[in-house]
Structure 1
Amino acid sequence: MMAKGGGTVGQGGLRSAARRHRQLFPAPIRVRARVKQRPLEQLSGESTRTLTGECLERRLTCRPEGSMRVGVVVLVIGASVGAAAPVAGAGVGSLVTPDPLTAPSPPLAGELRVVTAPAEALERISPLLFREAATRGGTLRVLVVLGEPVVGELATGAAEADEVRGRYLASLQHRFVANVAPLGVRALRGYSQLPVVLVEVPAERLVEMAGDPLVRAVQLDRPVHAHRAEGGALIRANQLLAQGGTGRGVGIAVLDSGIDASHPEFAASGKIQAWGNYTDSPGDGRSDDNGHGTACAGIAAGSTGGMAPQAHLWALKVLDAEGRGSDSQILAALNDVYAHRNDFGGVKVVSISIGGSNVWGGNCDADNPAYATAIQQLVSAGIVVFVSAGNAGCSNGVEAPACVSGAVAVGAVYDGNVGVQPGDGMIFVGGCIPEELGGCQDAATFADKIACYSNSGERLDILAPANCATTPQPGGYKTCFGGTSAACPYAAGVAAQILSLQGSATPSQIKNAMMTTGRALTDSRNGITRRRIDAVSAYQALAGGGGGGGSLPYTYWVPVGARLAGAGGAQYFTDLGCLNVGAAAASIEVWLHKDGSVVKGAASVPAGAQAIFRDILGQLGQSGKGTLAVHSTQPLKVTSRTYNKTPAGTFGQYYDGYTVSDGISAGQSVWLPMLTENADYRTNIAITNTGSSPAQVTVTLYGGAGGVLASYSVSLAPGETKQENQPFKNRAGQTNLGAGYAKVTVSAGSGIIATASVLDAKTSDPTTIPAKP
């Protein structure tokens, strides 16, 4: 399928059975919706305690409650020497990074070490490529995924790690090209941020090339095409917009046919902050000779009708005027999104309404290792990637790259009654709904009806609105844009809305929130049930993740609550603050997670009021320390102060109220700086699990010069906090450390919050050290 002049549905386009006439699809829709607040579930059968707030009296009810195998073989190769490769993109807003193969191999500080795949050469070739080579022969255009260079110990800090990794990737690609040149392999391009090289290889030398020790996997470079909103009400995006989910500060990278920067929806200064052109078409990405990209961008972030109207855009042109492109062009754009992820206002969302011709029922990483590598690299950097499922009418799978495990695959539903689709005696046609078999037509359309052209299968993640939307096109507006091309930017725009309210939400958390909220819909073609996204519910699931229950969707975690004696005669207490700046009263429950059990209390905070619960553990009838969770019917500003009470007054520290999306997940790390352990100060490190599953964390302790002193592991149940007192002394034997720091890495779980306290040894006056990403 390809896009012409604005978008088509189905691999063969949209045709009239009588006239073989093509119809193009247009973009988004505006609506209003109301939220019904469920009543607060009452606690029963328990005694009550009176809570005295700073400005309000509270009554608090309390109760206790009990694919391809990636190996570990390391290949050691001598260091290469040459001139340094150029870095950074060309031009102020240009995303395009230089091809590392166009410059000499850069000098390296040490050996080039590469983690290789232990598989035999044949196992490194994707099944699809192997079939193609066997049937077609000749010269094949393929993407070669190389082993990741091992550079972790060569750099400190993210910026230096990127720079070092870039040099080693360039050297790795040069080495591979030199290795396989005698086989008649011709390198077409390298990638500055990916261990990938695009080459042409004689079919008879494919296996030999795949056997090179630097190679991890090989896939075809296939042609791709565009997948050709007013669904905002259906998915309650308008309502989340009214709650402040404007997308402000969030970047969306649209990989498509470019964006018409002269259109009023995108003409404001700073709306399109970065661009790149990866095709042979003229322009730099800020023009659109097809129209498909402009339509998609309008749904995601058009300034008047987009889901996230205040989000900024990156325009990456990977499709030409006919809506055609290739895997290698998309990979080049993904490479540059990663390279500049923190530039030009930053980017947190990628939208790709593009696909190929094959479908996969499940995970397709083995056939698409280059996509799998690139998308996982973006996800690990905190960027969520949405891809349209495709419009071939298949019920047994979705297209690539939607089928890659790291992507969020988006299918299409109607947002209301838009009449017969397509109208005028026409039919949808595609790979699974060919014209000779009658294609498909939706004779009746209504909200949440799954479109007959929308690809579906086990790999499909979510559903979003499509037909029939009004969206920008070069020179004006298109009145009926649709297809999974429209559904994808709807989801991307909602993600930007959520991120503007919950900036630390991870890709996996956003994906999970969308997949577990919204309306469940069953596809009659295959019996598969997926959820149509709901912006408000997804946001509430993130903001309230941790167990407050459906009627208490907002949850805030305070890592430490205390009422106990400390070192040197200190007596610690915690005050809890709840500020309700909204227009409705908030019913709340305060949960204390302590010693494997939960103690709960209930209260309320009127609209526009603040309640400060002094000595909150005392009001709950508890002593010791634990983790506090505030579950609420309305958004709150939750804060706390834990302090040492003395006859001379108090010495205290501030602990913020965190949501689960503020925490980090498996594969992520944060840093705790400015830690001291000597005769004047002592340090404690606390790790909190705000997630719903057990967590495993490693804490690594460093001296001021960067040397590793010790490390230890922490296992946490959901809702549990574990504090290590004086870890530098007890774990590393350090009693005169003036400037230490710690790295906290999560290997399992999500929603992990790390904090440290540095206490004055004489007064026990504590200072909170929040984690830094």
Structure 2
Amino acid sequence: MSAGLSRIVAVLCLLLVAWTAQAADVVSPQTVEAVRAQGRLRVLVALRDAPATDKLTALPTAKGDAGLIRRLQVKARVDAVLAALPLRSYTLRRRFVLVPAFALDVDLATLRRLQSDPAVLRIDPDVPGRGHADPDAASVLNAVSPLQSLGLDGTGMKVAVIDSGVDTDHSDLHARLVSQQCFCSNSSGIGGCCPNGQATMGGYGSAEDNNGHGTNVSGIILGEGNVAPRGALPHAQLVAVKVLDANNSFCCSSDVVAAMDWVATNHPDVDAVNLSLGTGANFAGDCDTATAYTIALATAVNSLISKGAVVTVSSGNQANSNGMSAPACVSTAMSVGATWDFTGGSVTFLSCTEASTAPKKPTCFTNRSTTTDIYGAGAFVTSAGHTGGTSTYGGTSQAAPMVAACAAALKQAMPASTVTQRIDAMKLAPTTVFDPVSARNYPFIDCVDALRILDGRPALTVYDMEVLEGNIGGQPTNFTIGLSAPAPPGGVSFNIATADTDANNGAIAGRDYGAVQQLGLVIPAGQTTATFSVKVYGDSQVEADEVFRVQVSNVLGARIARGEGMGKIDNDDTSATRTQRPSDL
């Protein structure tokens, strides 16, 4: 053989080796063998992302509209790849609006064609998964910490729950529900598990829950408390998307991608998105580029984040000490592990046994890794049930919605804050938990501290006051309004007023104390306190102690830590001496 011919052969061999390695990067040998063994297989194809072409940006309808350009770009890339396949060589199962990927059934020949297409980044089986909770009939503990004391109830906030759906006529949730959708495929490829028997359904009734998992999760976030314990944000709006079937499972990751893609497209104003579900496969670190389905999941998560939503995902319940399921393993998702929320003895749950339980102790079943973001109480939580009553579940599924609720509450409190700022505030709150299995410390959700971190303004507190009634009236009694730090430049201003209570021992304005309303009370810059004077009327009548309220409103320059103080009038008819005792200064 001549030297020239030998060089040509050598180059061809090198090219063949390079092509083989590249092809293996696109499709794993395991995927090829699965297609060969089954004849046809549902796969998820992730395409290489590319900037919009000049042709797209030049369209009159696309100028200045990044969202439209993205949609056109994704459509063009998917159309081009599908057009290169022979007709009737595949069955398309899912395609998306904002995610350059699609799911389809392929045979080996079609798989090879896709493998050789330079636009294809990765091909993997469209893997199944399930919700991350199991019912626990024995427990009635509700681990939700309401945010009402902070003045946060979800008003104006929208939360999407991608789960098994919701009990659409539950009295705790019906008024909160503003939109429904279903993406629920059967593994057979025939029909689907949406209420209409198909794989996709929209409109009224499309997210009806036939399992209960999603109803419980939704109630944790925004249940009104008419039947089940009150959720964290009872005035928030709910977008319910069904992807889990009656067995709390999804057949295909593309259904979850489709759900996130639909929310980002149809509800770009969503403030938080919760996914209490995940794949059976676990990943030790960030999984954004690990497989075709994690590539698509990561793109869908990032689409939601670009709209301003925090995406919370349960870490999984397989007791993995160094791995989480997808999409919790996506780097930009907020992954959530679970702790116990009660003190008790030995508990066996989700295929593991805990010798003893304690609040904020990581559960034996929770998945965690070096990239787990935060923990929340997950065992056990009583919330709304899909038959109109209540249900009690345990799992990382119950921890994640608590974090979603906090994320939405932070958005309500600080509308101009970014997704990154809200996530950082939750992770930087000082409460932590120690996981003895992995020997790692993790943040624990504390929304009060998170708000303090996010909102750098001083916290305003109205302190209680207790006073002896005496036998003469009309003498002033001072309430103290304090700040956690000196007032900023310009000071802190607020309105303050007295109010009667509904208690049996409630004091009555005009008889027991003088009603007062003061507008524009100011704590000057650099100062930390102000006082508010109320006259208490004494008498010689022997009677029970009495209480009234002092409330602030219209606070400027500070956040409210405690906006209401109680005034207690102690009956004392043996002395005319009036004494003030600050009860909690």
TM-score, length basis structure 2: 0.68
Higher deviation after alignment, 442-451 or 281-290: 281-290
Which of 261, 265, 274 aligns to 1:335? It is 261
Closer/same/farther in 2, CA of residues 164 and 128 from structure 1, 3 Å limit: closer
SS at match of 2:347: coil
Paired residue secondary structure (2:313): strand
Alignment of 1:282 with 2:282, yes or no, is no
Q: Distance in 1 between matches of 2:88 and 2:116?
A: 12
Contact kept? 1:218, 1:369, Cα under 8 Å: no
Going from structure 1 to structure 2, the CA distance change for 1:538 and 1:198 (only over 3 Å counts) comes to same
Amino acid at match of 2:107: P
Alignment of 1:340-359 (within 5 A): 340-342=266-268, 346-359=269-282
Change in Cα spacing, 1:172 to 1:552, as seen in structure 2 (3 Å) is: farther
Contact 1:186 1:201 (C-alpha < 8 Å) held by counterparts: yes
Asked whether 1:301 is paired with 2:208, we answer no
Cα offset for 1:262?
Answer: 0.8
CA distance in 2, matches of 1:124, 1:363: 23
Structure 2 counterpart of 1:195, one-letter code: P
What is the distance in 2 between the residues matched to 1:221 and 1:262? 33
How far, CA to CA, are the matches of 1:388 and 1:555 in structure 2? Answer: 40
Question: Which residue of 291, 296, 302 maps to 2:212?
Answer: 291
The match for 2:350 among 428, 445, 467 is 428
Which of the pair is proportionally richer in helix? 2
CA distance in 1, matches of 2:456, 2:63: 30
Query: Per the alignment, do residues 588 and 399 of structure 1 end up closer, same or farther by CA in structure 2, a change over 3 Å counting?
Result: farther
Contact persistence 1:375–1:406 (CA under 8 A): yes
Could you tell me which residue of structure 2 aligns to residue 508 of structure 1? 420
Amino acid in structure 2 at the alignment position of 1:262:
D
When Rg is computed on C-alpha atoms for both structures, the one with the higher figure is 2
Supply the AA of the counterpart residue of 1:297. S
Structure 1: distance between partners of 2:346 and 2:255: 36
Aligned-partner Cα distance in 2 for 1:524–1:172: 48
Over residues 658-703 of structure 1, what are the superposed CA-to-partner deviations in whole Å (9 max), with x where a residue is unaligned? xxxxxxxxxxxxxxxxxxxxxxxxxxxxxxxxxxxxxxxxxxxxxx
Distance in 1, Cα, partners of 2:337 & 2:143: 14
Which one of 195, 209, 218 corresponds to residue 114 of structure 2? Answer: 209
Identify if the C-alpha distance between structure 1 residues 554 and 389 changes in structure 2 by more than 3 Å, giving closer, same or farther: farther
Aligned residue for 1:487, secondary structure, equals helix
Determine whether 1:243 maps to 2:129: no
Distance 1:166 1:420 in 2: 53
Partner of 1:177: 82
The aligned counterpart of 2:127 is: 222
What aligned pairs does 1:52-67 form with structure 2 within 5 A after superposition?
none
SS of residue matched to 1:252? strand
- The one of 234, 240, 246 equivalent to 1:315 is 240
1:603 corresponds to 2:527: yes
Structure 1 segments of 4+ aligned residues over 6 angstroms from their partners: 124-128, 155-159, 551-557, 585-590
Q: 1:288 deviation in Å?
A: 0.8
* Distance in 2, Cα, partners of 1:388 & 1:207: 35
- Specify which of 43, 47, 55 is matched with residue 142 of structure 1: 43
Change (3 A) 1:347 1:153: same
Alpha-carbon offset, residue 347 of structure 1? 1.1
The residue aligned with 2:511 is none
Work out whether residues 149 and 172 of structure 1, in 8 Å CA contact, stay in contact via their aligned partners in 2.
no
Please show how residues 382-397 of structure 1 align to structure 2 within 5 Å. 382-397=308-323
1:390 alignment partner, SS class: coil
Contact 1:265 1:298 in 2 (8 A): yes
Structure 1 pair 476–444 and aligned structure 2 pair: CA distance change class (3 A)? farther
Does 2:455 match 1:543? yes
Conserved in 2, the CA contact under 8 Å of 1:544 and 1:556? Answer: no
Give yes or no for the alignment of 1:534 onto 2:455.
Answer: no
**Alpha carbons 2:491, 2:524 under 8 Å: kept:** no
Contact 2:94/2:254 (<8 A) preserved: no
- Distance in 2 (CA, whole Å) between partners of 1:320 and 1:493 is 24
Q: Distance in 1 between matches of 2:169 and 2:423?
A: 33
Q: Which residue of 1 aligns with 2:556?
A: 637
Counterpart Cα distance in 1 of 2:101 and 2:319? 32
How far apart are residue 581 of structure 1 and its match?
Answer: 5.1
Deviation at 1:522, TM superposition (A): 1.5
Structure 1 position 335, deviation (Å): 0.8
One-letter amino acid of the structure 2 residue matched with residue 490 of structure 1: M
- Matched to 1:243, the amino acid is L
Which residue pairs with 1:496 in the alignment? 408
1:395 positional shift: 0.8
Q: In structure 2, the residue corresponding to 1:255 is in which secondary structure?
A: strand
Offset at residue 457 of structure 1 (A): 1.1
Q: 2:365 aligns with which of 422, 429, 453?
A: 453
Q: Which residue of 2 aligns with 1:253?
A: 160
Distance 1:182 1:158 in 2: 35
Question: Percent identity among equivalent residues?
Answer: 29
Contact 1:144 1:198 in 2 (8 A): yes
Where structure 2 has 5 or more consecutive residues not aligned to the other structure, the ranges are 1-17, 134-140, 185-191, 197-204, 459-481, 498-519, 534-552, 560-585
CA drift of 1:286 comes to 4.0
Q: Partner of 2:93 in structure 1? A: 188
On the 8 A contact 1:219/1:369 being kept in 2, the answer is no
Instruction: Tell me by how many angstroms 1:226 deviates.
Output: 1.1
2 CA distance for matches of 1:227 and 1:123? 36
Worse overlay, 120-129 or 366-375: 120-129
Q: Do the aligned partners of residues 335 and 158 (structure 1) sit closer, same or farther apart at CA in structure 2, a change above 3 Å counting?
A: farther
Corresponding position: 1:133 with 2:32: yes
1:216–1:301 Cα change, 3 Å? same
Paired letter, 1:282 = P
Q: 1:277 Cα shift?
A: 1.2
The answer (yes or no) to whether the contact 1:587–1:604 under 8 Å persists in 2 is no
Q: CA deviation at 1:159?
A: 8.2
Query: 1:290 aligns to what SS in structure 2?
Result: coil
2:29 and 2:521 map into 1 onto residues whose CA distance is 61
> 1:59-78, aligned counterparts within 5 Å?
none
> Which of 50, 70, 74 is the matching residue for 1:165?
70
One-letter amino acid of the structure 2 residue matched with residue 307 of structure 1 = A
Instruction: Verify the 8 A CA contact 2:164 2:245 in the aligned structure 1.
Output: yes
1:736 corresponds in structure 2 to: none
Post-superposition offset of 1:121: 8.2
Checking the alignment, whether the CA contact within 8 Å between 2:493 and 2:523 is kept in structure 1 is: no
- Following superposition, the deviation at residue 187 of structure 1 comes to 3.0
Q: What does the per-residue CA deviation read over 1:259-282, in whole Å, with 9 as the maximum and x for residues that have no partner?
A: 0011111122xx100110112231
Is the 8 Å Cα contact of residues 247 and 498 (structure 1) preserved in structure 2? Answer: no
Alpha-carbon shift at residue 246 of structure 1 (Å): 0.9
CA–CA distance in structure 2, aligned partners of residues 411 and 204 of structure 1: 42
Q: Is the partner of 2:329 in helix, strand or coil?
A: coil
Change (3 A) 1:444 1:159: farther
Letter in structure 1 aligned against 2:341: D
Counterpart residue identity of residue 195, structure 2: P
SS at match of 1:351: strand
Residue number among 483, 492, 500 corresponding to 1:578 in the alignment: 492
- 1:140 is displaced (CA, Å) by 3.4
**SS where residue 166 of structure 2 aligns?**
coil
Q: CA RMSD in A?
A: 3.6
Q: CA deviation at 1:150?
A: 0.9
Compute the displacement of 1:466 (Å): 1.1
> What is the 5 A alignment of 1:400-411?
400-411=326-337
CA distance change for structure 1 residues 477 and 406 in 2, over 3 Å: closer, same or farther?
A: same
Instruction: Indicate conservation of the 8 Å contact 1:387/1:410, yes or no.
Output: yes
